[in-house]
Amino acid sequence: MGKLRLGVIGAGSWTVSSHLPAMERHRDRVEYTIVNRRNPEMLERIKDRFGFQKATTDWRDVIEERPDIVIVASPVALHHEQSKAALEAGAHVLCEKPFTIDPADAWDLVETARRNDRELLLAYGWNYRPMVVAARELMAADGGIGDVEQVTIHMSSHTRELLSGRGAYPMAAPESIPEHATWIDPDVSGGGYAQAQFTHALGLALWLAPELRGRDVFAFMSAPLDAPVELHDAIAVRFTNDGIGTIGGGSEHSGPDNERHKVDIRMIGSRGNFHIDLEREIVWRYRGADDNVTLPVQPGDGIYDCIGPVDQLVELGLGQGRNESPAELGARTVEIIDAAYRSAQSGRVETVPTLDRS
């Protein structure tokens, strides 16, 4: 088999600082076929820096090249149309988070991937970290903690300046600062912190407990600094299995802890307790005094990177590996976040729409 042909739609700041450097490790297996970005000057720089054969300001040109693998890293409002076109053209797709704004679009992409026998994976980098892979295995082993009855999710990250329109994300490529509209224009971004960051923590929790689906959601959101989108979220969820959960987090000030994310997830089940803390690097499951497991972890295991999804895109393109962040997981995440935004606006409990329940 020859090299996989790579297409990139939306080569923005995160693609330049993360996805493409991660892809460099696969130069012997991947051909940099075509890259898309709307800014022609930056597009040419990216083309030359990474050695793409072609560059275009029209994302449809990427689809016409019929690449084997596609990275979709455009603003979230465009993900559905672009990812669907890539899947239908025969590509495996890595879609940046957040997945979509509308749950119906997310479930449509689940079905599109199934129908075309292609894989769509989300850029949930933590799902591929060894610490998290081991945590999921622990949750699945011998019935895990049983039926999940209660979940507590906390996340905070250094997005205060970004989401208030006063600065950039600390990890952004300095030569390619993201356009503010990508993050703070609700028509483009779909919202603020819940879309920009909380998709990671929720995607992780729902991957650890795959039986959880949102049913009813109530949310408070706040936007200090006259921000156009929310910086902080407090969300309550009832799941379809009658378990309940609280989801809280928001935008920290930049500077401390080397800009490290704080993510802490605790679950209580019918058989025991589970805890994963990515900041303090803890994985623990308790099912009684004689079944009390703390997994060994390595320093730095909880630090975020998005290398895993890029590696897996290549493996899937070669017909190998396992998708640790599938479209179905992204859709379960989108439907809770969508209901949370509706609740924050209405002041009422909002119901998650009954879409794909397979």
Q: What is the CATH number of the domain that holds 314?
A: 3.40.50.720
- Do the domain assignments include residue 358? no
248, exposed or middle or buried, with CB in 10 Å at 0-12, 13-18, 19+?
middle
Residue 53 included in any domain: yes
How does DSSP classify residue 172? S
* Residue 262 sits in the same domain as residue 345: yes
Question: Are residues 221 and 133 located together in one domain of the fold?
Answer: yes
Radius of gyration for the chain, computed over Cα atoms and rounded to the nearest angstrom: 20
**What one-character-per-residue DSSP string does 92-134 give?**
EEEEPSS--SSHHHHHHHHHHHHHTT--EEE--GGGGSHHHHH
200 occurs within a structural domain: yes
C-alpha neighbours within 13 Å on the C-beta side of residue 26: 25
Backbone torsions φ then ψ of 41, nearest 5 degrees: -65, -50
In a domain? residue 356: no
What integer pLDDT is reported at residue 172 of this predicted model? 62
Measured in whole angstroms, how far is the alpha carbon of residue 120 from the centre of its chain?
12
Q: Are residues 122 and 134 in the same domain?
A: no
Same-domain check for residues 94 and 70: yes
| Residue 354, number of CB atoms within 10 A of its CB | 10
Tell me whether residue 171 is in a domain.
Answer: yes
Cβ pair 327, 206 in contact under 8 A: no
> Rounded to the nearest 5 degrees, what angle is found at the Cα of 225, between the Cα atoms of 221 and 228?
60
Q: 93 and 185: one domain?
A: no
Please list the helix, strand and coil fractions of the chain in percent, rounded to the nearest 5, in that order. Answer: 40, 25, 35
pLDDT tens-digit map of 22-32 = 999 999 999 99
Block residue for tokens 């879609």: 95
Q: Are residues 259 and 227 in the same domain?
A: yes
Q: Are residues 81 and 134 in the same domain?
A: no
Does 80 map to a domain? yes
- Domain residues for the domain of 58 are 4-126+310-324
Q: Does 315 lie in the same domain as 176?
A: no
Note down pLDDT in tens along the chain; length 358 residues. Answer: 689 999 999 999 899 999 999 999 999 999 999 999 999 999 999 999 999 999 999 999 999 999 999 999 999 999 999 999 999 999 999 999 999 999 999 999 999 999 999 999 999 999 999 999 999 999 999 999 999 999 999 999 999 999 998 877 666 666 666 677 888 999 999 999 999 999 999 999 999 999 999 999 999 999 999 999 999 999 999 999 999 999 999 999 988 888 899 999 999 999 999 999 999 999 999 999 999 999 999 999 999 999 999 999 999 999 998 999 999 999 999 999 999 999 999 999 999 988 765 5
pLDDT of residue 173: 62
CATH code, 165: 3.30.360.10
> Does 122 share its domain with 133?
no
Give the model's pLDDT for residue 170.
Answer: 66
Do 319 and 297 lie in a common domain?
no
Farthest-apart Cα atoms in the chain, separation: 63
Same domain, 280 and 221: yes
Count of structural domains within the chain: 2
pTM assigned to the model = 0.94
Q: Scanning the structure block, which residue is given the tokens 């800009």? A: 259
